[in-house]
């Protein structure tokens, strides 16, 4: 009988997750019950939000329980099915967790449409990453052609997409990223107008220089001092979109909030938080547009794919926080456990 | 020739303004030029925002210059005029400054309509105070009947009006104020459903208890730890309206921002700053509605009127920050300098 190895939360991390925070468990792969199917997982999405799910405090999703399989989006092929809508051989995306096989009843599972993109794109551009960029920018940032749009975490999965969507909307796009390689990448490969290297530049004066008319839309993935600097540079009626705060996720003590928030009043601006799940009714249209822009060469969807086993998850996750990945970070386990990559 | 005594900014305050920060100057009252008129000032509005105007940093209005007459809204009677639309004997409201007489060309000056209210009401309910409450709540807070609305500075000029407007909109209204007298006042006299005394209660658990379904609209006049507590108690899709931050205005060192801002994401909420000036096109309708509600007994417009001379301004201003005024704080100088109160 085939074994399923899963990565489970052994204890709650303090700061960056360490090896001892995780446990691996091997169990037989169950048979699907009525209206269920079994997925052999090929690729696992690594997301900054994962860090928040490890803390025992109320949030938009319940914390991952101690002993539970780590929550993660993943794609894979259906290898056994008792479900009419999910046949064997179909590829699917869902919150299957950090494991080799998952049983699902199909709830919140998306069938991969090969005419739109590859399975891995259903974790990136066509998954919650790209959809987060799409709805965060368009629904909450509401850019108009000619606006100055600033995005932090610009070389990351969401930020790189936000900047490109703003560019094709006729906006002037400034990225904030760490290091010369990432800054060069977003300008030369992704078509941003300018990039600010927060590791070597003082962000506040750099933003003031790069945005002489102020920031119309600020899309924040990082929080902390960069958010505060952006708040100091708002244009009138600016929209600040709160998507994440990766600079804060591993903080061991509470970090100060954005002391410049009163500029929201001075500039009559709005700061909005959102979650992509609230827009699920519009996912289909958004995926079609994103895929079309990709096909037309208007959007690049960078991916950093780490090939390994499911047991490499704890180490791979840390690459999100060390800042050395470009675009979407994915753990590809298809080379192991008789999986295969599409 | 009649003398005009004015209060001018002598030096920029560090923390609470002290006597040495001000100078008084006596000069002859000028004659009005073509298309000008002279107002004999009767009442001067005392507003928390004044503190911000004293600091030398960019904001929504330029700082008051050293040696300049202190900026203030005031009402008075026209005593000399070369202006067709502003005849002698008319009462007017405008940014006339802290002085006994002002010369104006009529720009941004409002004629007092006695059918709507008294001159002092043009500093309070029918002035920028009431209009700030009206547009901040209705345009930016967007309350729906049944919503839970929380307002800080609830016994102050703006907060007391916000709470009453929310009440007549069918909302459940919780005020946050300092001390048992103010808390009793907003519940018993203004019809708030509940009040939290931030001087004797822990605001965060008190809000959680008072708002079991969370806060739909939070109208903030105070900033600091009370804003942070409110951010921890938001309902889904809550609207946080930033009107002021009186707890911060006299801080001598930068104060931390609201560390709970990431709850905007968890609750898909919005934090918006606004200034009443942006709504001037709608002032007329708003004044008519506010006056009608007052006439119908649905709104009380509390005023704390300090009778004195214009030279009492520096001391009267401090009452805003010591927290011992109810409602609109006004310096009435009509008893001096051959003025008279209407």
Q: Which residues contact B69 (CB under 8 A, 6 or more apart)?
A: B6, B7, B8, B97, B98, B99
A262 closest CB neighbour out of B228, B242, B264:
B242
Q: How far apart are CA B294 and CA B145, in angstroms?
A: 20
Q: Do B270 and A270 touch (CB under 8 A)?
A: yes
Please state the domain extents for chain B: 3-124+301-332, 128-277
Kindly tell me if the per-residue pLDDT of A147 is higher than 90: yes
Please name the CATH architecture into which domain A3-124+302-332 falls. Answer: Alpha-Beta Complex (3.90)
pLDDT at residue B100 tops 60: yes
Between CA B40 and CA B78 the distance in angstroms is 6
Identify the residue whose tokens are 């960078």.
A302
Tell me the two tokens of residue A36.
């269920």
CA pair distance B17, B15, nearest whole angstrom: 6
The total of other beta-carbon atoms located within 10 Å of residue B287's CB is 22
Nearest CA in chain B to A223: B262
Give the global pTM: 0.89
C-alpha torsion A224→A226→A229→A230, nearest 10: -110
The pLDDT score that the predictor gives to residue A337 is 53
Beta-strand pair A22-28/A3-9: antiparallel
**B339, pLDDT greater than 50:** no
Give CATH for domain A128-277: 3.40.50.720
pLDDT category, A1, cuts 50, 70, 90? low
User: Which residue of chain A is at minimal alpha-carbon distance from B277?
Assistant: A268
The residues with which B97 forms a beta bridge, in sequence order, are none
Burial class (CB in 10 A: 0-12, 13-18, 19+), A90: middle
pLDDT tens digits along A27-83? 999 999 999 999 999 999 999 999 999 999 888 899 999 999 999 999 999 999 999
At A276 the three-state DSSP class reads: helix
Give me the mean pLDDT over the A143-153 stretch.
Answer: 96
> B180-234 pLDDT, tens per residue?
999 999 999 999 999 999 999 999 999 999 999 999 999 999 999 999 999 999 9
| Contact across the interface for A270 and B266, Cβ inside 8 Å | no
- Chain A residues with a Cβ under 8 Å from any Cβ in chain B: 58-60, 223, 228, 242-245, 248, 254-275, 278
Instruction: Please provide the average confidence, as pLDDT, over all residues in chain B.
Output: 94
Fold of B3-124+301-332: Quinone Oxidoreductase; Chain A, domain 1 (3.90.180)
Instruction: Provide the strand spans (E) within chain B.
Output: 3-9, 22-28, 37-46, 74-81, 91-94, 101-104, 110-111, 148-152, 172-177, 194-197, 215-220, 234-242, 270-273, 303-307, 328-332
Would you call B295 helix, strand, or coil by DSSP? helix
Burial readout A221-231 (b: 16 or more C-beta within 10 A, e: otherwise): bbbbbbbbbbb
Q: Do B256 and A256 touch (CB under 8 A)?
A: yes
Give tens-digit pLDDT for B128-174: 999 999 999 999 999 999 999 999 999 999 999 999 999 999 999 99
Of B291, B276, B268, the C-alpha closest to B113 is B291
* Partner-chain contact A266 B228, CB within 8 Å: no
- Residue A47 distance to chain B (closest CA, Å): 16
């Amino acid at each position: 009988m085939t074994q399923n190895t899963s990565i489970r939360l052994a204890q709650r991390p303090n700061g960056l997750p360490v090896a001892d925070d995780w446990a691996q468990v091997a169990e037989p792969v169950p048979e699907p019950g009525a209206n269920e199917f079994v997925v052999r997982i090929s690729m696992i999405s690594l997301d900054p939000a994962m860090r928040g799910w490890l803390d025992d405090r109320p949030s938009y999703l319940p914390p991952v329980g101690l002993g539970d399989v780590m929550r993660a989006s993943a794609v894979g092929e259906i290898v056994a099915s008792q479900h009419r809508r999910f046949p064997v051989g179909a590829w699917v995306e869902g919150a299957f967790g950090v494991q080799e096989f998952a049983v699902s009843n199909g709830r919140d599972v998306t069938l991969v449409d090969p005419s739109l993109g590859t399975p891995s794109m259903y974790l990136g551009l066509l998954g919650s990453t790209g959809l987060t960029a799409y709805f965060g920018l368009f629904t909450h940032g509401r850019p108009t052609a000619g606006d100055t749009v600033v995005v932090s975490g610009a070389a990351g999965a969401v930020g790189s997409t936000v900047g490109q969507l703003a560019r094709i909307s006729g906006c002037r796009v400034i990225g904030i990223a760490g290091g010369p390689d990432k800054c060069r990448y977003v300008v030369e490969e992704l078509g941003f107008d300018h990039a600010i290297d927060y590791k070597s530049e003082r962000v506040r004066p750099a933003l003031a220089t790069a945005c002489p008319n102020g920031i119309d839309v600020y899309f924040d993935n990082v929080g902390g001092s960069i958010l505060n600097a952006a708040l100091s540079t708002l244009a009138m009626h600016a929209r600040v979109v709160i998507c994440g705060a990766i600079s804060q996720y591993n903080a061991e003590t509470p970090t100060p909030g954005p002391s410049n928030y009163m500029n929201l009043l001075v500039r009559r601006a709005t700061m909005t938080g959102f979650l992509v799940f609230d827009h699920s009714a519009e996912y289909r249209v958004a995926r079609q547009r994103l895929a079309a822009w990709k096909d037309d060469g208007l959007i690049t969807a960078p991916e950093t794919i780490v090939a390994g086993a499911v047991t490499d998850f704890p180490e791979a996750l840390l690459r999100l926080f060390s800042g050395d990945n470009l675009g979407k970070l994915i753990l590809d386990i298809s080379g192991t456990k008789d999986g295969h990559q599409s």
